[in-house]
């Protein structure tokens, strides 16, 4: 895989935990300048303290669901502060099970805000030619295997993730003339604090059944981060408009 350099400025949202944190750490380890955003300032500070090159990791706390319409301007402000961006990786989000009998429009709207509207508004800011490096720039959306799964209770969450996959396909044509590639990664269950909470709620039998459904085992945030960094690097320069499903053989 092609190494990154400090001139590769990567904005990672959701960087205070899970996959976003793993992406920020790996990009930093490989030499990129990382702008790490999230809601949890102590966790972001721990991220900076634990990274390989602290001088190339910058913390920018932000709740993406607050004042969402200003997200394009926020990206422009980061460009003014750090220079033109090379990559945007949208990892912020949360999973939710919502059976039809409990479907709530406001709760579903919140899912669409964080998983669809926020990434698209960030992409809008990134795609402004004043804010990105042009040829070689890249956007990654974090989707989920829930968009493909025949599982009960995932209509809202899986629907939001399916929407961002559809957006990825459309935007690949829209952004290609600017030299910007855009792809999505759709992992199934990985070992994050969120999934560990889910496991804690299961009975021993249900936990065993879940684990048995993954022939290659449950993934890790680092597994997903490796694929994301590959797509960001020159090694993925001929890939755009794709969703890479990572499910350990689950589906």
Positions marked active-site: 157
Eight-state DSSP code of residue 72: H
Closest CA to 167 of 181, 152, 184: 184
Whole-angstrom distance, CA of residue 212 vs CA of residue 192: 18
Eight-state DSSP code of residue 85: B
Contact predicate 90/118, CB 8 Å:
yes
Whole-angstrom distance, CA of residue 181 vs CA of residue 212: 36
Position of tokens 């429009």?
105
- Sign, CA dihedral 129-133-136-142, equals negative
Eight-state DSSP code of residue 179: T
For residues 130-168, b (16+ Cβ closer than 10 Å) or e, as one string?
Answer: ebbbeebbbbbbbbbbbbbeeeebbbbbbbbbbbbbebb
């Amino acid at each position: 895989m092609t190494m990154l350099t400090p001139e590769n400025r990567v904005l990672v949202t959701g960087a205070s935990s899970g996959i976003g944190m793993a992406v920020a750490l790996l990009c930093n380890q490989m030499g990129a300048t990382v702008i790490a955003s999230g809601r949890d300032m102590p966790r972001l500070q721990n991220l900076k303290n634990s990274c390989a090159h602290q001088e190339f990791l910058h913390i920018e706390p932000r709740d993406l669901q607050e004042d969402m319409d200003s997200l394009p301007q926020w990206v422009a402000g980061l460009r003014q502060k750090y220079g033109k961006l090379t990559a945007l990786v949208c990892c912020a989000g949360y999973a939710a099970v919502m059976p039809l009998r409990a479907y709530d429009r406001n709760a579903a709207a919140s899912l669409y805000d964080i998983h669809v509207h926020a990434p698209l508004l960030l992409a809008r800011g990134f795609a402004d030619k004043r804010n990105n490096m042009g040829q070689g720039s890249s956007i990654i959306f974090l989707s989920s295997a829930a968009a493909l799964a025949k599982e009960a209770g995932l209509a809202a969450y899986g629907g939001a993730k399916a929407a961002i996959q559809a957006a990825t396909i459309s935007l690949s044509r829209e952004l290609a003339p600017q030299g910007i590639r855009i792809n999505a990664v759709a992992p199934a269950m990985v070992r994050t604090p969120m999934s560990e909470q889910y496991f804690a709620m299961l009975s021993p039998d249900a936990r065993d059944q879940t684990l048995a459904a993954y022939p290659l085992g449950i993934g890790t945030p680092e597994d997903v981060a490796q694929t994301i960094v590959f797509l960001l690097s020159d090694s993925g320069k001929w890939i755009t408009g794709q969703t890479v499903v990572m499910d350990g053989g689950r589906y």
